[in-house]
Structure 1
Amino acid sequence: MNETKKEQERVVIFAVQLKSMDDFQFQESLAETVSLSETAGLEVAGTYVQNRERSDAKTYLGKGRIEEVMEQVEREDITFDVVIVNDELTTSQSRHLSDLFDAKIIDRTQLILDIFAQRAKSREGQLQVELAQNEYLLPRLSGHGVSLSRLGGGIGTRGPGETKLETNRRHIRSRIHDIKGQLEEIKAHRQRYREQRKKSQVYQVALVGYTNAGKSSWFNQLTQSETYEENLLFATLDPKSKVMQINEGFKVILSDTVGFIQQLPTHLIEAFSSTLEEAKYADILIHVVDRSHPNYEGHIKTVNNLLSSLDMAAIPTVTLLNKSDLVTEEMQEETHDTLVVSSRNQEDIGRVKQFVSRFIQRQMTPYHFNVDSDQGRAISQLKEETMVTAIDYDEARDVYRMTGFERPGSGTVSRIMKTEKSETTDE
Structure 2
Amino acid sequence: MGKQKTYDTALKQERAVLVGVITPGEKPEQTKEYLDELAFLVDTAGGVVEKVFTQKMLRPDRATFVGTGKLEDIRAYVKAEEIDMVVFDDELLPSQLRNIERELQVKILDRSNLILDIFAGRAQTAQAKTQVELAQLQYLLPRLTRMWTHLERQKGGIGMRGPGETQIESDRRMILEKISLLKERLKLIDRQNETQRKNRGQLIRVALVGYTNVGKSTIMNMLSKSEVFAENKLFATLDTTVRKVVIENLPFLLSDTVGFIRKLPHHLVECFKSTLDEVREADILVHVVDVSHPNFEDQIHTVNETLNDLGARDKDTIMIFNKIDAYVTPAADEFNVEEEQAAPLTLADFKKSWMAHHNAPAIFISATQKENIEEFKQLLYDKVKDIHTTRYPYDKLLY
Partner of 1:413: 395
Match of 2:122 among 119, 123, 129: 119
Q: Report what 1:212 is aligned to.
A: 213
Gaps of 5+ in 1: 149-164, 365-385, 387-405, 418-427
CA–CA separation in structure 1 for the residues paired with 2:367 and 2:186: 34
Alpha-carbon spacing, 1:306–1:147, altered in 2? closer, same or farther (3 Å): farther
Gaps of 5+ in 2: 1-5, 152-167, 330-344
Matches within 5 A, 1:347-358: 347-358=371-382
Q: Which moved more, 1:311-320 or 1:329-338?
A: 329-338
For residues 371 and 215 of structure 2, what CA distance do their matches in structure 1 show? Answer: 17
Q: In structure 2, the residue corresponding to 1:171 is in which secondary structure?
A: helix
Task: Indicate if the aligned counterparts of 2:250 and 2:381 stay in contact, CA closer than 8 A.
Answer: no
Whether contact under 8 Å (1:104, 1:147) holds in the other structure is no
The answer to whether the aligner puts 1:332 opposite 2:350 as a matched pair is: yes
Q: Secondary structure at the match of 1:139?
A: helix
Cα distance, 1:85 vs. partner? Answer: 0.8
> Residues 144 and 19 of structure 1: is their aligned pair in 2 closer, same or farther, counting only changes over 3 Å?
farther
Query: SS of 2:31's equivalent?
Result: helix
Native 8 Å contact 1:13 1:86 kept in 2: yes
Give the Å deviation of 1:15: 1.1
Q: Which residue identity lines up with residue 32 of structure 1 in the other structure? A: E
- Aligned partners of 1:67 and 1:305: how far apart in 2? 37
Residue deviations 1:159-204 (CA, integer Å, cap 9, x gap): xxxxxx997111111111111111111111111122223xx32010
- Residue 252 in 1 paired to residue 235 in 2? no
2:260 is aligned with what amino acid? F
Provide the C-alpha distance between the structure 2 equivalents of 1:249 and 1:11, rounded to a whole number of angstroms: 52
Decide which of 45, 51, 56 is 2:50's aligned counterpart: 45
Q: CA 1:242 to 1:147, structure 2 compared with 1: closer, same or farther past 3 Å?
A: farther
Structure 1 position 350, deviation (Å): 2.9
> Is contact 1:98–1:146 with CA below 8 Å preserved after alignment?
no
Q: Look up the equivalent residue of 1:115 and give its one-letter code.
A: I
**Corresponding residue number in structure 2 for 1:308:** 308
Match of 1:233 in 2: 234
Residues 247-294 of structure 1 deviation map (CA, whole Å, 9 limit, x = unaligned): x22111100000000111211101011111111100000000000000
Mapped partners of 1:340, 1:190: distance in 2: 34
Q: Report the secondary structure of 1:141's partner residue.
A: helix
Displaced runs of 4+ in structure 1, greater than 6 A? none
Question: Aligned AA for 2:232?
Answer: N
Does the CA contact (< 8 Å) of 1:91 and 1:144 recur in 2?
no
Hey, what does 1:170 align to over in structure 2?
A: 173
CA–CA distance in 1 between the matches of 2:372 and 2:222?
10
> Which of 131, 134, 156 is 2:134 aligned to?
131
Tell me how far apart the structure 2 counterparts of residues 147 and 338 of structure 1 sit (CA, whole Å). Answer: 58
Which residue is 1:13 aligned to?
Answer: 18
Which residue identity lines up with residue 332 of structure 1 in the other structure? F
Aligned-residue CA RMSD (Å):
2.4
Q: Is the 8 A contact 1:58 1:93 kept in 2?
A: yes
Find the structure with the greater CA-based Rg: 1
Q: Which residue of 2 aligns with 1:395?
A: none
Q: 1:141 to 1:315 in 2, by over 3 A?
A: same
Contact 1:222 1:349 (8 Å CA) reproduced: no
CA contact (8 A) 2:252 2:384 kept: no
Q: What is the alpha-carbon distance in structure 1 between the residues aligned to residue 109 and residue 314 of structure 2?
A: 37
Q: Does 1:201 align with 2:225?
A: no
SS in 2 for 1:54: coil
SS at match of 1:305: helix
SS at match of 2:252: strand
State the SS of the aligned residue for 1:278: helix
Alignment of 1:84 onto 2:72: no
Q: Which amino acid aligns with 2:255?
A: S
Aligned pairs, number: 354
Quote the residue 2:283 is aligned against. 283
Q: 3-state DSSP class of the match of 2:260?
A: coil
> Which residue number in structure 1 is paired with residue 101 of structure 2?
98
Question: In the alignment, which residue of structure 2 is the partner of 1:272?
Answer: 272
2:350 match: secondary structure: coil
Distance 1:348 1:181 in 2: 46
Given residue 317 of structure 2, which amino acid in structure 1 is its aligned partner? T
The match for 1:68 is 73
SS at match of 1:5: coil
1:31–1:347 distance in 2 versus 1, CA, 3 Å: closer
Length-normalised TM-score, structure 1: 0.78
More strand as a share of residues:
1
Output one character per residue of 1:400-423: Cα deviation in whole Å (capped at 9) or x when no partner: xxxxxx133x34438x79xxxxxx
Instruction: Return the letter of the residue paired with 1:238.
Output: D
Residue 366 of structure 2 is aligned to residue 342 of structure 1: yes
